[in-house]
A and B are shown apart, each in its own frame.
Chain A
Amino acid sequence: MVQINLEQREITIKIVYYGPALSGKTTNLQAAHKILDPNIRGRLMVLDTSDDRTLFFDLMPVYFKTSSGFTVKVKLFTAPGQVMHNSTRRIVLQGADGVVFVADSQKSLSQANNESWRGMASNLKVNGIDINEVPLVIQFNKRDLPEIRPDSEIAEVADKGKEPVFKAVAIRGEGVMETLDGILRLTWKTMNARFGLEEKLQIQEDAFIKHILKDSGLPTASRNLQSRGDLR
Chain B
Amino acid sequence: MSRVTSPAEDTSVLQRRFSLGELLDLDSFRDVCESFADLFQIGFKIFDASREMLVDMKGSGNEFCAYIFSQPQGKIQCTRGVGIIRELEAAVGQPVYHDCFSGLRYLIAPLIHEGESIGKIVFGPYLPAESADSPLPALGEKFKADIASRLRGKARRVQEDVVRKVVRHLVQTIEVMLYVGYKNALTSRMHVESVSASYSELQSKNRALQDSYERLKELDRLKSNFLATVSHELRTPLTSVIGYSEMLLEGLAGPMSDEQTEYLHTIMEKGDQLLGIITSILDFSKIEMGNLRLNRTMVNMIEIARSAVTTLMPIARKANVKIEFANVQDIPSILADGDKIRQVLVNLVGNAVKFNHQDGTVTVKVEVCSRPSLAAQENLPAALARPEQELVCISVTDSGLGIPADKLERIFDSFYQVDGSSTREHGGTGLGLAITRSLVEAHGGKIDVQSGIDQGSTFTVLLPIVGES
Does chain A have a CB within 8 A of B135?
no
0/1 per residue, B163-202, Cβ < 8 Å to A?
A: 0000000000000000100110011001101100110010
Chain-B contact segment, one of A56-64, A113-121, A143-151: A56-64
Whole-angstrom CA separation of A75 from B116 in the bound complex:
14
A3 in contact with B116 (CB, 8 Å): no
A87 in contact with B194 (CB, 8 Å): yes
A58 CB to nearest B CB, Å: 11
B183 in contact with A47 (CB, 8 Å): yes
A3 in contact with B114 (CB, 8 Å): no
Complex interface: chain A residues within 8 A of B4 (CB): 4-6
Complex interface: chain B residues within 8 A of A25 (CB): none
Give the bracket for the number of chain A residues in contact with chain B.
35 or more
Whole-angstrom CA separation of A74 from B183 in the bound complex:
17
A158 CB to nearest B CB, Å: 27
Which of B6, B12, B114, B182 is in CB contact (< 8 Å) with A73?
Answer: B114
Complex interface: chain B residues within 8 A of A195 (CB): 2
Measured CB to CB, the nearest residue on chain A to B198 is: A87
Does chain A have a CB within 8 A of B162?
no
Enumerate A55-113 residues with CB–CB distance to B below 8 Å: 56-57, 59, 61, 63-64, 71, 73, 75, 77, 85, 87-88, 90-92, 94-95, 97
Does chain A have a CB within 8 A of B469?
no
Enumerate A179-232 residues with CB–CB distance to B below 8 Å: 191, 194-195
Which of A45, A73, A87, A191 is in CB contact (< 8 Å) with B197?
Answer: A87
Does chain B have a CB within 8 A of A1?
yes
Whole-angstrom CA separation of A191 from B197 in the bound complex:
29
A4 in contact with B14 (CB, 8 Å): no
B3 in contact with A91 (CB, 8 Å): no
Complex interface: chain A residues within 8 A of B115 (CB): 40, 42, 61, 63-64, 71, 73
A91 in contact with B197 (CB, 8 Å): yes
Complex interface: chain B residues within 8 A of A71 (CB): 115-116
Complex interface: chain B residues within 8 A of A97 (CB): 1
Interface centre among B2, B13, B116, B182 (most CB of A within 10 A): B2
B1 in contact with A7 (CB, 8 Å): no
Complex interface: chain A residues within 8 A of B198 (CB): 87
- How many pairs, one residue from A and one from B, have CB atoms within 8 Å of each other in the complex? 91
Whole-angstrom CA separation of A231 from B201 in the bound complex:
28
Whole-angstrom CA separation of A10 from B117 in the bound complex:
13
Whole-angstrom CA separation of A176 from B172 in the bound complex:
30
Does chain B have a CB within 8 A of A2?
yes
Does chain B have a CB within 8 A of A14?
yes
Does chain A have a CB within 8 A of B329?
no
Complex interface: chain B residues within 8 A of A56 (CB): 186-187, 190-191, 194
B114 in contact with A42 (CB, 8 Å): yes
Enumerate B3-20 residues with CB–CB distance to A below 8 Å: 3-7, 11-15
**Given that A4-B4, A91-B13 are contacting pairs, would A61 and B187 also be in contact in the complex, using a CB cutoff of 8 Å?**
no
**Given that A56-B187, A63-B116 are contacting pairs, would A92 and B1 also be in contact in the complex, using a CB cutoff of 8 Å?**
no
A186 CB to nearest B CB, Å: 14
Interface centre among A1, A71, A85, A129 (most CB of B within 10 A): A1
Does chain B have a CB within 8 A of A8?
yes
Interface centre among B15, B182, B186 (most CB of A within 10 A): B15
Whole-angstrom CA separation of A112 from B313 in the bound complex:
64
Whole-angstrom CA separation of A91 from B183 in the bound complex:
17
A3 in contact with B5 (CB, 8 Å): yes
B50 CB to nearest A CB, Å: 12
Measured CB to CB, the nearest residue on chain B to A130 is: B1
Whole-angstrom CA separation of A81 from B84 in the bound complex:
52
B187 in contact with A47 (CB, 8 Å): yes
Whole-angstrom CA separation of A129 from B6 in the bound complex:
23
Whole-angstrom CA separation of A1 from B138 in the bound complex:
60
Which of A47, A63, A91, A191 is in CB contact (< 8 Å) with B114?
Answer: A63
**Given that A6-B4, A7-B6, A90-B197 are contacting pairs, would A95 and B12 also be in contact in the complex, using a CB cutoff of 8 Å?**
yes
B190 in contact with A91 (CB, 8 Å): yes
Complex interface: chain B residues within 8 A of A42 (CB): 114-115
Complex interface: chain A residues within 8 A of B14 (CB): 14, 57, 59, 75, 77, 91-92, 94
B12 CB to nearest A CB, Å: 5
0/1 per residue, B39-52, Cβ < 8 Å to A?
A: 00000000000000
A94 in contact with B191 (CB, 8 Å): no
Whole-angstrom CA separation of A7 from B11 in the bound complex:
16
Supplied contacts A71-B116, A94-B12, 5 more A-B pairs, CB within 8 Å:
A6-B4, A42-B114, A45-B179, A56-B190, A73-B116
A-B contact pairs, 12 of them (CB 8 A): A3-B2, A3-B5, A4-B2, A14-B15, A45-B182, A56-B191, A63-B115, A71-B115, A71-B116, A87-B197, A91-B13, A91-B190
Q: Which 10 A-B pairs have the closest CB atoms?
A: A63-B115, A87-B197, A56-B190, A94-B12, A61-B114, A95-B12, A88-B194, A195-B2, A87-B198, A2-B2
Q: Which B residues are within 8 Å of any A CB, using their own CB? A: 1-7, 11-15, 114-116, 179, 182-183, 186-187, 190-191, 193-194, 197-198, 201
